[in-house]
Amino acid sequence: MQETIKEIVVATKNAGKVAEFKVALNGLPYKVTSLVELGNFPEATENGVTFAENSCSKAEFYARLTGKLCLADDSGLEVDYLKGEPGVYSARYAGEHAGDEDNNKKLLSNLIGVPPEKRTGRFRCVLALANAEKTLLTTDGTVEGVILSEPRGDKGFGYDPLFLVPELGCTLAEMSHEEKNRISHRGQAIREMAKQLAVLEK
C-alpha cells in the first residue's frame, strides 16, 4: 500500500530554515512547504511571555489560515545575569524596529563591568507542530555559552558574534553553517521533532 504524503507548512519566509526542515524530515512521508510558496499571509502576533507560547500560537495561527499542518519556532537568547533577558524580546531588544547591531549594543551596555564567569547564557528554541484545532507536538533545544565583551566572527546573524561556545573555543559567528546547525538550539529542536514524527508514523 502506498504511503500517504502529508504536507507540512513551515511558518517562515526564511529559505535557510525551510531547507533545514527539508533535510531533517527527509525519508519521512512529509512534503515541506514554506509560507511563501502558498501566498501572502499576515504576520502572526507574538505576544507570549515564553518561547513555547509564541511558537504554539504561531503554528496554530498559520495552520488555521492554510488548512494544513504547520511548524513554527520561536527562539532567542537568555542571559543569566540579566534574569533571562532578552528572551522572547531578542529580535526587538533595542526597540520594535531595531537591527542586530542595535540589539548587540544594548546587550553589551547592560553587561558593562560584568566578569566573564557571570556572563553565562543560552540560546533556546521551541518548535511547535499544529493543525487548525490545536498544537500536536513541541520540542526544544538549547546551546550554552558565554557573552563576550566584543564581537568575533562575520558569519551568522543576531547575537552570534557575541556568543562564545566554551568547549569549542569559538563564537557561533566563527563557525561554518554546517558546524552551527550541528550544535545549534534550532538544529536540536528540528532533529527532535523529526524523531517524534518518525515515531508517530510507525
The residues, any chain, with a CB within 8 Å of residue 142's CB and separated by 6 or more, are 122, 123, 124, 125, 185, 188
Tell whether 160 is in a known binding site: yes
Cell (9 digits) for 196? 517524534
In the chain, the amino acid numbered 48 is G
One of 73, 74, 102, 140 is an active-site residue; which one? 74
The question of whether 140 is a catalytic residue gets the answer no
Tell whether 74 is in a known binding site: yes
Tell whether 17 is in a known binding site: yes
Tell whether 186 is in a known binding site: yes
Tell whether 6 is in a known binding site: no
CA 3 to chain centre: 30
| Contact (CB, 8 A) for 137 and 155 | no
Tell whether 73 is in a known binding site: no
Where are the extended beta strands (E) located within 5-86? Answer: 6-10, 30-34, 69-79
Tell whether 26 is in a known binding site: no
Binding-site residue positions for substrate: 12-17, 75, 157-160, 180, 185-186
Q: Please give the annotated binding residues for Mg(2+), written as ranges.
A: 74
**What amino acid positions are annotated as catalytic residues?**
74
- Please report, in range form, the residues annotated as the binding site: 12-17, 74-75, 157-160, 180, 185-186
